[in-house]
Structure 1
Amino acid sequence: MDAAILRTALRDAFPDVDLATMRIVRAPGRVNLIGEHTDYNDGFVLPVAIDLRAWIAFVRTRDRRVEIVLGDGARDGFDLDAIGEPRHGWIDRLAGMAWSLGELGLDLHGLRGVLLSEIPMGAGLSSSAAIEIAMAWALRDERPPLAPMKLALAAQHAENSFIGVRSGLMDPFASACGQRDAALMLDCRSLDYRAVPLPLDPYALVACDTRAPHRLESSEYNARRAQCEAAVEIVARAHPEVRSLRDVTMDMLPAIGVIDQVARRRAEHVVRENERVALAVEALEAGRMDSVGRLFAESHASLRDLYEVTSPELDALVEIAVATPGVVASRMTGAGFGGCTVNIVERGAVERLRHAVEREYPARTGRQPAIYVLAATGGAGEVAA
């Protein structure tokens, strides 16, 4: 986003501020290649930070007040010394991040700022995590405001303990730690991660948006986590060493099914999805894109049949994509219940996929899609104003 656009937005929102002191921070969204609903089960994920970002242009103030204006003119704020309870509005993500950083005893500064985002809301591309990570960069003078992994953990704490969404680490991790031209394989238990170079010279990374937004605050997301915890509790009766679904093996699943068939299905998805992440990394590093396509297909089917988080719109987009010549891999990405699919496409076939989706998806669903050709980018930071 051009600094001039941000400068104009800040001037219009706060006419009295000194634009000579303006600063700009940004944080990327993410698309997860594979490893869905595994992060909060101590599993493995393979996200990519993407070149759709949340931006905050701001000036420091001498008081302890944070005032933010959105691109549509909505305005809200909070006092750093009296953040209070969540208000169930957009400001909660920003206030929650400030609250979480305050819990760590960090020095924070008041500001007047504008928040503009290129990340479509509700598309499953982690707009919320990007906003939180960008806010942390705005509130702190230190660069980075925290070590990137600690910053991601602080954002997760804000989601879990302030917002009340029991989300995992993957989204803020990708936004804080992303690397250009690479996916990141993260072990959500040890927090070890490594870059996996993406062979995207002959391929493009494409997200197709259902335009059927999901809401993570809905009961369905938290219900899935509770079902996973129920599965762990059942297995741990006979295997006390089991602490999460990361520790569960396929031979343990029948015992879960005797007591709770729903929990068994959720557990089977997570166990097999963790295996698929490791196999996908091997396939990407070896350039075996046919294997990547097979693993994407297995992941989507598992999310549809075992974890039950796809939707008719997501299924339609995947079916359209896999029937399009030149599409190597396609599956839903993110929490589900709407949002996006992620697709690996031969570069010469991107427009073919776009035309197929724009022609067939509205006829099947009554909705107009959006298509984003993405690049893998670095994590959050400050840029020249």
Structure 2
Amino acid sequence: MSEHIRRAEQALIDQFGDSDEEIGIASAPGRVNLIGGHTDYNEGFVLPAAIDRRTVIVGRPRDDDVVNLYSLSLDEQRSISLEDRDRDGETNWSDYVIGVFDRLVERGYEPGGMDLAIAGNVPIGAGVSSSAALEVAAATAIDSIAGLGLPKEEIAKTAWEAETQFVGVGCGIMDQFAATFSEADSALFLDCRSETFDLVPVDSERARILVVDTGVQHDLVEDGHNERVRQCQEGVEAFDRLADESVSSLRDVSAELFDEYADDLPETIRKRCRHVLAENERVKEAVEALESGDLETVGALMCASHESLRDDYETSCDELDLVVELATEHDGVLGARMTGSGFGGSVVSLVDPDAVDDVEETIRTAYRAETGIDPEIYVCEPAAGATEVPLEADIDVRSD
């Protein structure tokens, strides 16, 4: 991480000039979701883990209301006034940061103008939530620079509002909570209704997290993600109408209630609801298995999750299915599934540490032969969530 901090500090000076103002530094991680696909916005259960790929923001205050942003990875700059925060045109990276400023202002805070430089190594469009890493890093940096004194819950909620209310993605709270509250060597068992969580140990000596980026990009605002949100809401409205009890989300639908009224639902809505209900149970079973050290069961549940996402939720694609097939055919892989919203992005696998190199080479060779794409593959460890970084410090957040 220290390399990214140095590059961002230099970019801050190169792009916006030198200054005597004190610099603030913050970082936040990407994440994989071990299990719990599309349950978060249905007030269900999820089991994400932050990974040792991070977004770093270095910034300083200004004496006006101008916000200057610069992305090193994209070599792009944008400037806005806090008085004029409206989105203009198609979604781009800067909207996720401007959205954080917007929501803070709407919540009654006064962040003031800033110069911010952004660096890091969270893959974009790979299904490891680069957007949440950027939002949470931005909220943490703004809090540090402006001295707002935000509790962690406020940072996560502000970041979530930036994505849902400003950018317009109908996501749940999982990504922002994972980027904020995760701890090293652990997954985050999150109840998305109560917004409470427990840390569940992940034994990196027995299983490594392997992320394979298919190279298939997605745009969450324009693809099928928001359609799935609407379909789940249609299911909620149907159960609320049919049942004798109040149903405000799919979390309220029991297995018995689903079985009683499933045939009254349109086929597509029935499939979406069936996935969500079964996935919630898989998450709870995976937590119990992790806590007892039963990694084989965790792997089997991950595979079942992918099959459900593929067949009932229909958010997979040929490339994701190919990687899961290649992974699970290898004896060293405990389980594999798509991670993120789907329609492209990445597959996450739990792999025997002794087999990591061979699994990586096997998948890379076969995937390249089938698709012509040389996939990006990352071996990850569960990492810490968002942090302010003291000047001159080189803290251990499990990143390179």
TM-score if structure 1 supplies the norm length? 0.96
Closer, same or farther in 2 for the Cα pair 1:4/1:151, shift >3 Å? closer
Partner of 2:124: 121
Q: Which amino acid aligns with 1:117?
A: G
Partner of 1:209: 213
Partner of 1:81: 83
TM-superposed deviation, 1:193:
0.6
SS at structure 1 position matched to 2:187: strand
Q: Which amino acid aligns with 1:85?
A: R
Question: Is the deviation greater in 71-80 or in 281-290?
Answer: 71-80
SS at structure 1 position matched to 2:64: coil
Partner Cα separation in structure 2 for residue 307 and residue 248 of structure 1: 17
Partner of 2:8: 6
Partner Cα separation in structure 1 for residue 361 and residue 208 of structure 2: 16
Q: Which amino acid aligns with 1:200?
A: S
Closer, same or farther in 2 for the Cα pair 1:171/1:203, shift >3 Å? same
Partner of 2:61: 60
1:304-340 Cα deviation digits (max 9, x unpaired): 0000001111001111111112111111111000111
SS at structure 2 position matched to 1:158: helix
Partner Cα separation in structure 2 for residue 339 and residue 299 of structure 1: 16
Partner Cα separation in structure 2 for residue 26 and residue 259 of structure 1: 45
CA contact (8 A) 2:139 2:158 kept: no
CA contact (8 A) 1:144 1:381 kept: no
Pick one of 220, 229, 244 that aligns with 2:249: 244
Output aligned runs, 1:286-325, within 5 Å: 286-325=292-331
Q: Which amino acid aligns with 1:285?
A: E
Partner of 2:181: 177
Instruction: Give the number of equivalent residue pairs.
Output: 384
Closer, same or farther in 2 for the Cα pair 1:219/1:351, shift >3 Å? closer
Q: Is residue 378 of structure 1 aligned with residue 373 of structure 2?
A: no
TM-superposed deviation, 1:145:
4.7
Partner Cα separation in structure 2 for residue 147 and residue 261 of structure 1: 44
Partner of 1:108: 111
Question: Is the deviation greater in 274-283 or in 198-207?
Answer: 198-207
1:344-363 Cα deviation digits (max 9, x unpaired): 11111110111001110011
Pick one of 333, 337, 341 that aligns with 1:331: 337
Closer, same or farther in 2 for the Cα pair 1:364/1:130, shift >3 Å? same
Partner Cα separation in structure 1 for residue 62 and residue 17 of structure 2: 14
Partner Cα separation in structure 2 for residue 86 and residue 118 of structure 1: 27
Partner of 1:35: 36
Q: Is residue 223 of structure 1 aligned with residue 227 of structure 2?
A: yes
- The answer for unaligned runs of 5 or more in structure 1 is none
SS at structure 2 position matched to 1:151: helix
Output aligned runs, 1:142-153, within 5 Å: 145-153=149-157
Output aligned runs, 1:125-144, within 5 Å: 125-141=128-144
Q: Percent identity?
A: 40
TM-superposed deviation, 1:86:
4.5
TM-superposed deviation, 1:219:
3.9
CA contact (8 A) 1:358 1:369 kept: yes
Q: Which amino acid aligns with 1:40?
A: Y
Partner Cα separation in structure 1 for residue 30 and residue 38 of structure 2: 17
Partner Cα separation in structure 2 for residue 378 and residue 47 of structure 1: 12
1:17-50 Cα deviation digits (max 9, x unpaired): 34x7322111111111100100000100011111
CA contact (8 A) 1:23 1:59 kept: yes
TM-score if structure 2 supplies the norm length? 0.92
1:262-318 Cα deviation digits (max 9, x unpaired): 000000000000000000000001111111111011100000000000111100111
CA contact (8 A) 2:282 2:301 kept: yes
CA contact (8 A) 2:68 2:80 kept: yes
CA contact (8 A) 1:124 1:340 kept: yes
SS at structure 1 position matched to 2:382: coil
1:218-257 Cα deviation digits (max 9, x unpaired): 2411110111111111111132322111111233335244
Partner Cα separation in structure 2 for residue 259 and residue 179 of structure 1: 41
CA contact (8 A) 2:25 2:57 kept: yes
Q: Which amino acid aligns with 2:206?
A: P
Partner Cα separation in structure 1 for residue 25 and residue 165 of structure 2: 28
Closer, same or farther in 2 for the Cα pair 1:329/1:300, shift >3 Å? same
Closer, same or farther in 2 for the Cα pair 1:144/1:189, shift >3 Å? farther
Q: Is residue 200 of structure 1 aligned with residue 204 of structure 2?
A: yes
SS at structure 1 position matched to 2:56: strand
CA contact (8 A) 1:362 1:368 kept: yes
TM-superposed deviation, 1:58:
1.3
Q: Is residue 48 of structure 1 aligned with residue 13 of structure 2?
A: no
Partner Cα separation in structure 2 for residue 273 and residue 228 of structure 1: 14
Partner Cα separation in structure 2 for residue 51 and residue 145 of structure 1: 26
SS at structure 2 position matched to 1:122: coil
Partner Cα separation in structure 1 for residue 149 and residue 271 of structure 2: 41
Partner Cα separation in structure 2 for residue 143 and residue 365 of structure 1: 50
TM-superposed deviation, 1:15:
2.9
Cα RMSD (Å): 1.6
SS at structure 2 position matched to 1:46: strand
